[in-house]
Amino acid sequence: MEAHVDALNQVFALFRLNYHNQYYAAFPDAQQLNQIKKLWLESLSDYSVDHILKGAKHAIEHSEYLPTLNRMLECCQQGLADLGLPPAYAAYVEACSAPSPKSAQAWSHAAVYLAGRDSDWFFLANNTERVSWPVFKGHYELYCARVLRGESLTVPEPEAIEQKPSEPMASEEQLARLRELREQTDL
């Protein structure tokens, strides 16, 4: 949480530098600014520190006006979407509802698969959202941060099942095997 507080302080410092007059008109006193920062902290807590900083950069680069909280949320989301990453909760739903084999599915992004794998597929399938969502979210944010740093993620290829052509049993073997089965089942 402390990292998020530092990130928000950086964001507001950037806004103060970039939107000087608008900033002081919007936040005339320290008490009001602290209340707004608390609201932003609560609203942006689902995003990693990297996402928040990238969102602020996006807001500054694409708007001549001081962003509202709603606009900042859109900018954080846009930063993820630009990289093909779905929102965290959408990724969670995708991971929880994907059929097996997991690595053979068409994932919206490799980060979704990797976060699901690291969260443990069995754990996701057998626990409530209240228990499994925070675990998945933590893993997903780590992978999103790696993508934001420029790392390329891939889903491993599904393991192929070795195909060995079986040799048919000889007639005598088949009859012997049938006798064994009849004796075992009392037929």
* Domains of the chain by residue range: 2-82, 88-148
Verdict on whether the full-model pTM lies above 0.75: no
b/e sequence 89-125, b meaning 16+ C-beta within 10 Å: eebbbbbbebeeebeebebebbbbbbbbbebeeeebe
Whether residue 28 is preceded by a cis peptide bond, meaning omega within 30 degrees of 0, is no
With 0-12 CB in 10 A as exposed, 13-18 as middle and 19+ as buried, what is 153?
middle
Spatial separation of the C-alpha atoms in residues 93 and 27, rounded to whole Å: 38
Read off the pLDDT of residues 37-52 as tens digits, 9 standing for 90 and up.
999 999 888 777 888 8
The mean predicted confidence, pLDDT, of the chain is 89
Would you state the structure tokens that stand for residue 103, as one six-digit string? 């690595």
Would you state the structure tokens that stand for residue 22, as one six-digit string? 């608008």
Read off the pLDDT of residues 6-30 as tens digits, 9 standing for 90 and up.
999 999 999 999 999 999 999 999 9
Mention every residue, 6+ apart, whose C-beta is less than 8 A from residue 15. 23, 56, 60, 66, 67
pLDDT at 161 over 80: no
Look at the block and give the residue holding tokens 């949480």. Answer: 1
Name the nearest CA neighbour of 146 among 80, 94, 72: 80
Average pLDDT over residues 66-84: 85
Read off the pLDDT of residues 130-154 as tens digits, 9 standing for 90 and up.
999 999 999 998 898 788 777 899 9
Query: Cα–Cα–Cα angle for 178, 181, 183, nearest 5°?
Result: 110
Written as one letter, the residue type at 133 is W
pLDDT at 160 over 80: no
